[in-house]
Amino acid sequence: MNSNEVKQALQKSITQFINAYKTEKSLSTSWKLPIVGFADTGSAYISSLREIVSPTHYMPQDFLSDCTVIISYFLPFDTEIGQSNNGNTEPSSTWVTAYHETNQMFLEINKHLTQLIERWGFHAVSPQPVGMIDAEHIYSNWSQRHIAYAAGLGTFGVNNMLITEAGTCGRFYSLITDIPVEPDCPLKEERCLYKRSRVCGLCVRRCPIHALDTEKAFDRIACASRLEGFERRLGADVCGKCTIQLPCTYHNPAKGL
């Protein structure tokens, strides 16, 4: 199979799995169609993640020595989930539930995809553990968004979210494999309207604690502190306020420009 055929097969498999899993587990969360891309494990961008993200960032070869690509996929939330998180200063219960249910489901999706890939005669490894963050090191050791960028799924907005064809409202995950397919490349054209032409910037105004600024660096410490508070009180380190009611929430705002 060529890369497009593999993508279609993976998208179909993920969609079928989600439908069955949602029914079996009686989940309340709903998702739109997944988006799939391939990041080249030998690319200069992947090799530089320890400089771009963190010195402790894992390399895909740490998990699978002869890997060829990282499968990155995005599960966009249904519009109602994003709408539920509009207003107030704390994440909605619907948003928190979507975060929990999606994260738990990701592990099962990767097990399912690993079995599929093994039936094709190849290997796949789910990178675990990922996202190890503490008070002294507020960086991900496996950045799903940077992997997704390398896989051509989108470009970063001012809010540090990746803008896909289905917007930013959803979750990313990944799987490392040795399938010999043609990888995707990072997109060259910016999708963030502010980065394109200095219009919009709504995400900056949406942040309740002013951690975002178009002229200054992202206040990572303030954001992390806010998320820690939600983790203690709500059981999830989620917020999402800077992703809601934006031109990029559910769509690629630069499409057609």
- Which pLDDT tens digit goes with each residue over 93-107? 999 999 999 999 999
Alpha-carbon gap, residue 224 to 222, rounded angstroms: 6
Alpha-carbon gap, residue 134 to 45, rounded angstroms: 25
Q: Are 97 and 169 in contact (CB under 8 A)?
A: no
Alpha-carbon gap, residue 172 to 75, rounded angstroms: 6
Model confidence at 143, pLDDT cuts 50, 70, 90, reads very high
The structure's pTM equals 0.95
Inform me whether the pLDDT recorded for 67 exceeds 80. yes
Alpha-carbon gap, residue 237 to 227, rounded angstroms: 5
Q: How many CB atoms sit inside 10 A of residue 91's CB?
A: 23
* Cβ neighbourhood burial of 160 (10 Å; 0-12, 13-18, 19+): middle
Alpha-carbon gap, residue 26 to 191, rounded angstroms: 36
Q: Is the dihedral of CA 239, 241, 242, 247 positive or negative?
A: positive
Model confidence at 139, pLDDT cuts 50, 70, 90, reads confident
- pLDDT value of position 88: 86
